[in-house]
Structure 1
């Protein structure tokens, strides 16, 4: 009788260890940082860039969509370089605030002559002040997905010359 009780206890212990033992040795999935969206992210000093993505139809004119959080007390101008440094844009984020760019009814960051491929990654170098900058690999989308259809930039038109 005692042997049967001991065997049952060992069996139950083995089952418990077998079904829960992996959690003793494996990394907890809730502790793994990841970007839960289509875009990418970076932190540079007091600036946090979140859900950065590029929307284009022609690969040349790009609407950069992102949210920038400024944890500093004063406003910051952030410089964005693209197309191997041939193109540059700036955005401003007030102190202790968050600002979204690229959505309807928000400020836009339109990049021209971007030379990107839809479905690819756009190298974007981000820097401000004396902080060490970072290169982001920003995913490039077109308007074929419903959630991005209203974010496609309009290519600048040239003024016809009077001939």
Structure 2
């Protein structure tokens, strides 16, 4: 009988080993890959970047075409709480921003409106921009948007073309019957 007990123990050990291998195989992905829910990203259309003490949040350019005027949207803030002079250069055009130390500069506010002659790329693309603050310079990619989405239409310089977003509007269903 000792032999039968030894076989049962070996069989139980083999089953436990197979269960452990199966469990490891089922969870192995998360053991070697980063969890997607722990990754930080910009949850909007604009970019998030830190250059020196400057914090760029949801910054984008809104335009109607590559060769048309483009307006900055988003917010700029100082991480140090001290006022900043920040310059963003896009397609050869330098734009200076005076960022207060005690609050963020909201670029959608008409008082902070900044328009450049053109972004140099089509809406939907990303344009390289050089951000300079206190002797620190970094190249970041800024999203270029158009008035397809209603929330960006008020910011298109010269007004948004309503036909750009027409394909997003609900249309009446065709009548059934006859051909």
TM-score by structure 2 length? 0.72
- Name the CA distance, whole Å, in 1 between partners of 2:31 and 2:126: 38
Q: 1:22 to 1:119 in 2, by over 3 A?
A: closer
- Alignment partner of 1:133: what SS? strand
* Aligned ranges 1:19-98 → 2 under 5 Å: 19-59=26-66, 60-84=68-92, 87-98=93-104
- Give how far 1:127 is off: 0.7
Does 1:2 pair with 2:6? Answer: no
Q: Gaps spanning 5+ residues in structure 1: where?
A: 156-163
Higher helix content, 1 or 2: 2
| Pairwise CA distance, 1:54 | 0.9
| 1:127–1:133 Cα contact (<8 Å) kept | yes
Range 3-12 or range 25-34, more displaced: 25-34
Shift of 1:70: 0.6
Give per-residue Cα distances to partners, 1:111-156, cap 9 Å, x unaligned.
12444322222222111222x211222121110122322221227x
How far off is 1:30 after superposition? Answer: 3.9
Residues 53 and 133, structure 2, Cα contact 8 Å, conserved in 1: no
Rg comparison, structure with higher value: 2
| Higher RCO (CA < 8 A, seq sep 6+) | 1
| Bigger Cα displacement from structure 2, 26-35 vs 90-99 | 26-35
Any gaps of 5 or more consecutive residues in structure 2? 1-7, 160-179
Root-mean-square deviation (CA), in Å? 2.3
Following the alignment from structure 1 to structure 2, what is the Cα–Cα distance between the partners of residues 83 and 23?
A: 43
SS at match of 1:20: helix
How many residue pairs match? The answer is 151
The answer to whether residue 148 in structure 2 is matched with residue 140 in structure 1 is no
